Chains A and B, each alone.
Chain A
Amino acid sequence: MVRSRTLSSQLADGIILLVLVIIALTSLYPLWYTIALSFSDQAAANAGQVTIWPSGFNLTSYRIILDDEKFFRAFGVSIKRVLIGGALNFLLTVIMAYPLSRSAKQFPGRNIYMWLLVFCMLFSGGLIPLYITITTLGMQNTIWSLVLPGAVPIFNVILIMNFFRSLPKELDEAAVVDGAGPWYSLLRIYIPLSVPAMATVTLFSIVGHWNSFFDGLIYMSKPQNYPLQTYIQQLVVNITPDLMKEMTTEQLIELMKASNKTLNAAKLMVAMIPILLIYPFLQRYFVHGIVLGSVKE
């Protein structure tokens, strides 16, 4: 793109840049605000005095979160979960998307599988039957209860399947002529050509695993086994009127003390940091991707 640009084109560029900057600033504010809040004094935060800068700068909230070995143990559980769960998601996404990207002519039965997936994505028996299944299989208190139930990321499978389908058909035909089997063309042709899409769905599953907290609470019977988000979730409580009705005064006072805006903000920040670190790394793959033309004959 070294061609000289016309004036109107430059003007268009300028407007685009301006719009993007404004949007970016509005998106940045909540994060900025949350950081300011997390470093503020609690009384000032409770009074709504924080707007842009921390009020009464202090590190108490971070000290509470990073307080003990529990944080790091939970962090370890989360890392393990992301690694195992992410890998599993990736593997299953790829090997399921490939046969599904064949046409019904190439692969009779493909449509049945497809609608089965869509059905599984939309319908659910709810929490209780799943819980019974997991306890029956003896998986509670293990990492498997966190990674296996969501091991097939149907949404991702559909995305990747579509991406595979959009690749030029000739690629495949060439491979078939070479006598390559499906595994070969998946590994050697489809995956290398789909790096941006792969990066996208990998991000989705990492974020998904990293952020989920409810399953950790339900399937782990002791706080020692919680993943990070479950652990952090338990540090701060949201006061709901329903909850208040069932509590004794002592519990209520405890709750009031624990309900804490600065801690809540710090919790959010700590939980976000790993995602913020991973993102730029994956980003290079979907902003620029690889140049398709260079591979294509």
Chain B
Amino acid sequence: MKLKWIVGCLVVLMLLTTACGSSGTEPNPDTNQTEGTKDTEKSPDSGKEDPFGKYDEPITLTLGKSISTKNTNLPNGDTVDNNEYYRYIEKKLNVKVTHAWQTETQEAYQQKLSVSIASQDLPDAFIVNEKQLKQLVEADLIADLTDVYNKYSSPLIKSYYESYGDRVLKRATFDGKLMAFPGTEIGGQHNMTWIRQDWLDKLGLQPPKTLDELLAIAKAFTEKDPDGNGKNDTYGFTGLPTLAGWNTVNGFDPIFGALHAYKGQWLKDQAGSTVYSSTLPEMKTALAKLHELYAAGIIDKEFPVRKDSTELIAANKVGIVFGPWWIPYWPLPDSVKNDPKAEWKPYTAPLDSDGKFNTYDQNPTGSFLVVKKEYAHPEAVAKVLNMEYEGIRKLDPAAKDIYKDLNVSWVIWPFAIQIGFEDDAYRVHLELKAAWDAKDPSKLNDELKMWYENVKKNAENPKKDLAVWSDSMSRMDGSAEIDPSKLTVIRNVFFGQTKTMELKWAILEKMENETFLKIILGEEPVDKFDSFVQEWKKLGGDQITKEVEEASKK
């Protein structure tokens, strides 16, 4: 019996000591050194503040990383943690990058990371979400990168961030200190309207401009047997239980937009005060409209209970799909595979009464690259990131030819964080389009060259190879519709969570989703919307609105 108490005490002791060990560390000599150089701005050692300066002594940088080891296309036995990119960085910077741990999927990464953070078993650098960033700042576990950013980040990286104004960097700034390198979400991910051209042709219809035209088409798709199988088994479109939102194929966003309604956005009204878009009268109108459509059988009857709303697309039961420019990658190929006649075309429609296509802006950032506080060389992270982006954008002649023509993804570089201009997807499209029009792919980079080839292949042999079709449809047709001049973007003034939201948001959201769905299905009258708004305000909505108003002023 005694033995186990002894072992027990030992374990407790070990727990205590290791835990202290990681937190109680004094800033180590190396950190002091960097601070030293900071004080004497122009030190003789010229390499010190060079964004691409090589270290005299080799240093290491450990990462936690989510990276699939499947289909990496890496040659010669290279692996995701030992490859040309990593060796190139070691050669150029004397920084040896290794993985403290890695996972295959993003989901697993989140689980592993949560444990890692909570037990303070952190890699030197890793990527977190906004909530985790806030917690890490509060727990004082990550390094202040203000100086690192100012002195070591390359002009390229800085130009990307600056293109967003302060919308991105501000989100990683706490008390004036920059605590992370934020990733940037590339814009133009709104839902547009994809329509089966072959169905339109068959029924002799014209592509829609207005909402009424779109709905007329949806009605025809429902009632006039566009697939010609003699059965009444098609719908105009299907939907989602949550109705709308970012990254949601089948969200009703375009319909909402045409009626000036938006779901779940924090907007400034005309008087300049903050309002929650789901509670505005326009939403009531939009719900009434959707109810009308549902009752008429134009919307898939079972959309609220479907686990996978894309099933109907794959089964070719719908002729209209609301989705971003990239849905030819998924789920449209399933549709084409099951019915090779399917001819999907993207439209920036329906337009509102003023002829505008309304959408709301997307969260410009959601992931953050952070550095462990104890890490002695935080500037090494900036340097590696600099090298990486010079490489990804093919600006570094020496890195340009690494893995040439092997179709190795950029995420093989150490940091799988996306930093770029907001309209990158559209810029890339323009570049590709220009080359295509000029029939000259010589100036394109590898990736674009591949797309160019695929556009060509698909033009010669449409839909022969669906992977080729996906590239061609997304990069040429889909992304042509994200031309900023075609869109009216309503600014969301607040992303994130306030104090009261932590407690009450789930209940408000629950009420919102439940009420809206019931209105659409006709289980509640449309006027239920008014009591929903009252209830919403009472149960914390008003308080939250106030908090958002304050937070968005900062």
Q: Do chains A and B touch in the complex (CB under 8 A)?
A: yes
Give the complex CA separation of A43 and B314 in angstroms.
Answer: 7
Give the complex CA separation of A223 and B333 in angstroms.
Answer: 31
B186 partner, pick from A70, A237, A249, beta carbons under 8 A: A249
Contact status A221-B106, CB under 8 Å: no
Given A132-B15, A221-B101 in contact, is the A253-B330 Cβ separation under 8 Å? yes
A46 partner, pick from B18, B19, B314, B411, beta carbons under 8 A: B314
* Mask of B344-379 contacts with A, CB within 8 angstroms, 1/0: 000000000000000000010011000000000000
Give the complex CA separation of A104 and B418 in angstroms.
Answer: 66
For the complex, is B185 an interface residue (Cβ under 8 Å from A)? yes
- Closest A residue to B325 using CB positions: A249
Which of B83-91, B109-117, B191-199, B230-238 faces chain A? B109-117
Give the complex CA separation of A250 and B409 in angstroms.
Answer: 10
- Closest A residue to B409 using CB positions: A250
* Mask of A216-257 contacts with B, CB within 8 angstroms, 1/0: 011001110000000001110110110111111111111111
Within the complex, the shortest CB–CB distance from B263 to chain A, in Å, comes to 13
Give the complex CA separation of A131 and B111 in angstroms.
Answer: 13
* Mask of A23-48 contacts with B, CB within 8 angstroms, 1/0: 00000000000000000011110111
Within the complex, the shortest CB–CB distance from B264 to chain A, in Å, comes to 12
Contact status A133-B11, CB under 8 Å: yes
Contact status A128-B119, CB under 8 Å: yes
Q: Which residues of B contact A10 (CB under 8 A)?
A: none
Contact status A238-B107, CB under 8 Å: yes
Within the complex, the shortest CB–CB distance from A36 to chain B, in Å, comes to 16
Q: Which residues of A contact B146 (CB under 8 A)?
A: none
For the complex, is B239 an interface residue (Cβ under 8 Å from A)? no
Give the complex CA separation of A241 and B247 in angstroms.
Answer: 8
For the complex, is B9 an interface residue (Cβ under 8 Å from A)? no
For the complex, is B402 an interface residue (Cβ under 8 Å from A)? no
Q: Which residues of B contact A247 (CB under 8 A)?
A: 106, 247, 366
Within the complex, the shortest CB–CB distance from B249 to chain A, in Å, comes to 9
Give the complex CA separation of A240 and B105 in angstroms.
Answer: 13
B330 partner, pick from A128, A223, A241, A257, beta carbons under 8 A: A257
Q: Which residues of A contact B185 (CB under 8 A)?
A: 248-249
For the complex, is A277 an interface residue (Cβ under 8 Å from B)? no
Greatest chain A CB density within 10 A among B115, B186, B308 is at B115
Give the complex CA separation of A235 and B129 in angstroms.
Answer: 23
Give the complex CA separation of A170 and B409 in angstroms.
Answer: 73
Within the complex, the shortest CB–CB distance from A228 to chain B, in Å, comes to 14
Give the complex CA separation of A127 and B119 in angstroms.
Answer: 10
Q: Which residues of B contact A243 (CB under 8 A)?
A: 106-107, 110
Contact status A256-B329, CB under 8 Å: yes
Contacting A at CB under 8 A, from B165-217, are 183, 185-186, 189
Contact status B314-A47, CB under 8 Å: yes
For the complex, is A8 an interface residue (Cβ under 8 Å from B)? no
For the complex, is B100 an interface residue (Cβ under 8 Å from A)? yes
For the complex, is B121 an interface residue (Cβ under 8 Å from A)? yes
Q: Which residues of B contact A48 (CB under 8 A)?
A: 311, 314-315
Q: Which residues of A contact B248 (CB under 8 A)?
A: 241, 244
Contact status A237-B106, CB under 8 Å: yes
- Closest A residue to B130 using CB positions: A246
B108 partner, pick from A135, A234, A240, A257, beta carbons under 8 A: A234
For the complex, is A106 an interface residue (Cβ under 8 Å from B)? no
For the complex, is A200 an interface residue (Cβ under 8 Å from B)? no
* Mask of B214-247 contacts with A, CB within 8 angstroms, 1/0: 0000000000000000000000000000100111
For the complex, is B68 an interface residue (Cβ under 8 Å from A)? yes
Contact status B11-A46, CB under 8 Å: no
Contact status B11-A245, CB under 8 Å: no
Q: Which residues of A contact B104 (CB under 8 A)?
A: 223, 234-235
For the complex, is A136 an interface residue (Cβ under 8 Å from B)? yes
Give the complex CA separation of A99 and B15 in angstroms.
Answer: 32
Given A245-B247, A256-B331 in contact, is the A223-B102 Cβ separation under 8 Å? yes
Given A132-B119, A234-B103 in contact, is the A246-B326 Cβ separation under 8 Å? no
* Mask of B112-134 contacts with A, CB within 8 angstroms, 1/0: 10010011010000000100000
Contact status A47-B338, CB under 8 Å: yes
A246 partner, pick from B99, B106, B334, beta carbons under 8 A: B106
Contact status B110-A47, CB under 8 Å: no
A43 partner, pick from B129, B189, B326, B337, beta carbons under 8 A: B337
Give the complex CA separation of A167 and B358 in angstroms.
Answer: 77
Contact status B247-A244, CB under 8 Å: yes
Contact status A136-B11, CB under 8 Å: yes
* Mask of B310-332 contacts with A, CB within 8 angstroms, 1/0: 11001110000000001001110
B118 partner, pick from A43, A128, A256, A257, beta carbons under 8 A: A128
Given A135-B119, A221-B101, A223-B69 in contact, is the A252-B314 Cβ separation under 8 Å? no
Give the complex CA separation of A131 and B102 in angstroms.
Answer: 17
- Closest A residue to B249 using CB positions: A256
- Closest B residue to A223 using CB positions: B104
B329 partner, pick from A70, A221, A244, A257, beta carbons under 8 A: A257
Contact status B119-A131, CB under 8 Å: yes
For the complex, is A49 an interface residue (Cβ under 8 Å from B)? yes
B106 partner, pick from A41, A128, A255, A256, beta carbons under 8 A: A255
For the complex, is B395 an interface residue (Cβ under 8 Å from A)? no
Contact status B331-A135, CB under 8 Å: no
For the complex, is B295 an interface residue (Cβ under 8 Å from A)? no
Contact status A136-B115, CB under 8 Å: no
Give the complex CA separation of A221 and B66 in angstroms.
Answer: 11
Q: Which residues of A contact B409 (CB under 8 A)?
A: 250
For the complex, is B14 an interface residue (Cβ under 8 Å from A)? yes
- Closest A residue to B189 using CB positions: A249
Give the complex CA separation of A132 and B121 in angstroms.
Answer: 9
* Mask of B42-71 contacts with A, CB within 8 angstroms, 1/0: 000000000000000000000000001110
For the complex, is A137 an interface residue (Cβ under 8 Å from B)? yes
Within the complex, the shortest CB–CB distance from A161 to chain B, in Å, comes to 21
* Mask of A241-279 contacts with B, CB within 8 angstroms, 1/0: 101111111111111111000000000000000000000
Contact status B334-A42, CB under 8 Å: yes
Q: Which residues of A contact B15 (CB under 8 A)?
A: 132-133, 136
Q: Which residues of A contact B333 (CB under 8 A)?
A: 43
Contact status B107-A127, CB under 8 Å: no
Q: List 7 A-B contacts (CB under 8 A).
A: A49-B315, A136-B18, A222-B102, A246-B366, A248-B367, A248-B418, A253-B329
Q: Which 7 A-B pairs have the closest CB atoms?
A: A47-B315, A221-B101, A256-B330, A47-B314, A234-B104, A43-B337, A46-B314
Beyond contacts A43-B314, A237-B106, A249-B185: 17 other A-B pairs, Cβ-Cβ < 8 A, are A43-B334, A43-B337, A46-B314, A47-B316, A132-B18, A135-B121, A136-B18, A137-B14, A217-B108, A223-B69, A235-B104, A240-B107, A243-B106, A245-B246, A246-B129, A247-B247, A252-B326
Interface residues in chain A, defined as those with a beta carbon under 8 Å from any beta carbon in chain B: 41-44, 46-49, 67, 70, 127-128, 131-133, 135-137, 214, 217-218, 221-223, 233-235, 237-238, 240-241, 243-258
